[in-house]
Amino acid sequence: MTVRVLVADDQALLRGSFRLLIETAPGLTVVGEAGTGAEALDVARAERPDVVLMDVRMPEMDGIEATRRLCSTSAGPRVLILTTFDLDSYVYSALRAGASGFLLKDTPPATLLDAIHVIASGEGLLAPSITRRLISEFARRPEPSNHPLKSLDGITDREREVLALVARGLSNAELATHLSLTLATVKTHIGHLLAKLQARDRAQLVIAAYESGLIHPASRPAK
């Protein structure tokens, strides 16, 4: 199945470059472009893309607010934030708005194309540097309360262990190696976590781990 992509960026040259890159990749097609957040909403409603490649800084409506509106319903597209800036506030705001991934514009082309497929498949994606930024953001926030982690009551001890490692930035393959599990078993645990925590994707699992207090910012992310 071909993944339908909407490119939203206020720079026409960049939009054209992204379109050219995406159109040359098998299994991907660009169904529209937008130069503002408001235009992205209009084009998304008309073309119903699977994935929106979203810039943060755009006129009329920024990419964060556009993402929030696009992701307000379960039928909305997946959003991959792609920006020049990796500021902590952007990362946290984008993920809270419902973005499924966050990459920098200096990401290698092959990585970007892979990311679009990952996002379209229902997974979430965070570059390692972005995970570190997210941890830094939580480090500046007040410590979670000492109350029991009610939102995690339904998950098993093994699932807690998997969730903690996901929050530290480990990939499925790294999780399998670290926990001496098969890749299929890791995927099963991730699926259970998504269902039990009502998380849309992996990115929301990261937020759940920190906001529940399961992981504390002082913990270093895995290399």
Same domain, 49 and 78: yes
Q: CA dist 1 to 50, 52, 100, Å?
A: 11, 17, 20
Q: What pLDDT does 174 receive?
A: 87
Same domain, 47 and 70: yes
What amino acid occupies position 16?
A: G
Which 3 state secondary structure label does DSSP give 182?
coil
Among 219, 117, 119, 105, CA closest to 167 = 219
Please report whether residue 18 resides in a domain: yes
Q: Of 108, 136, 164, which closes a domain? A: 136
Please report whether residue 218 resides in a domain: no
Same domain, 42 and 78: yes
What amino acid occupies position 30?
A: V
Same domain, 127 and 156: no
Q: What is the token pair recorded at 135?
A: 């941890």
Same domain, 168 and 92: no
Q: What pLDDT does 98 receive?
A: 83
The per-residue pLDDT string of the chain (223 residues; one tens digit each, 9 = 90 and over) reads 899 999 999 999 999 999 999 999 999 999 999 999 999 999 999 999 999 999 998 988 999 999 999 988 777 899 998 887 666 567 777 777 888 888 888 889 998 999 899 888 876 666 555 555 555 555 555 554 444 444 688 899 999 999 999 887 777 888 999 999 999 999 899 989 988 988 777 777 877 887 787 876 544 444 3
Q: CA dist 43 to 32, 37, 46, 95, 117, Å?
A: 7, 10, 5, 22, 21
Which residue is it, tokens 């939203």?
8
What is the Cα–Cα distance from 103 to 95, expressed in whole angstroms? 12
What is the Cα–Cα distance from 211 to 213, expressed in whole angstroms? 5
Q: How many CB atoms lie within 10 A of CB 67?
A: 29
What is the Cα–Cα distance from 199 to 220, expressed in whole angstroms? 24
Q: What pLDDT does 205 receive?
A: 83
Strand partners, 28: 3
Count of domains in the chain?
A: 2
What is the Cα–Cα distance from 173 to 181, expressed in whole angstroms? 9
**Residue 24 φ then ψ, to 5°:** -85, -5
Q: What pLDDT does 160 receive?
A: 93
The whole domain housing 195 covers: 146-211
DSSP run (H or E) holding 34: strand 28-34
Please report whether residue 82 resides in a domain: yes
Same domain, 31 and 113: yes
- Rounded to 10 degrees, the C-alpha dihedral 137/141/146/149 comes to -40
Q: What pLDDT does 93 receive?
A: 77
Q: Which class for 168: exposed (0-12), middle (13-18), buried (19 or more C-beta within 10 A)?
A: buried
pTM recorded for the entire structure: 0.70
Same domain, 15 and 124: yes
Residues 6+ apart with CB under 8 A from 19: 7, 30, 33
Q: Of 136, 163, 195, which closes a domain? A: 136
Please report whether residue 221 resides in a domain: no
What is the Cα–Cα distance from 40 to 47, expressed in whole angstroms? 10
